[in-house]
Amino acid sequence: MKINVEIDCSPEELRQSFGLPDLRPMQDAVLKAMQQQMIDSVARTSPEALMRNWMPLFPQSPEQMQQVMTAFFRGLTPGRSPPESPPGGQKKA
């Protein structure tokens, strides 16, 4: 035997019929508080500070970035001297 029952009601009506509490006011208050905290923290934080927090090993100033990029394109590690060329200008095999 198969019985199908269709109930046409809104979520609020169904919640009330089962005796469940309406949590919408509490959810709205929590979401509003979270939204305000996010807006406050974004307003206090500059993009530079975010980058320092997210990438602590990344160069912190434009000068440091320029030194890293210059060394990268020259094939050097920052703070190291260039590799010595073999005597006579010949490359090692």
Q: What would the pLDDT profile of 13-67 be if each residue is shown by its tens digit?
A: 999 999 999 999 999 999 999 999 988 887 677 777 766 677 666 666 778 778 8
In the numeric block, which tokens belong to residue 44? 């206090």
Q: What pTM value is reported for the model? A: 0.40
How confident is the model at residue 87, as a pLDDT?
58
Q: How many Å apart are CA 92 and CA 65, to the nearest integer?
A: 32
The type of residue at 44 is: R
How confident is the model at residue 76, as a pLDDT?
65
How confident is the model at residue 4, as a pLDDT?
94
The angle formed by the CA atoms of residues 27, 32 and 37, to the nearest 5 degrees, is 125
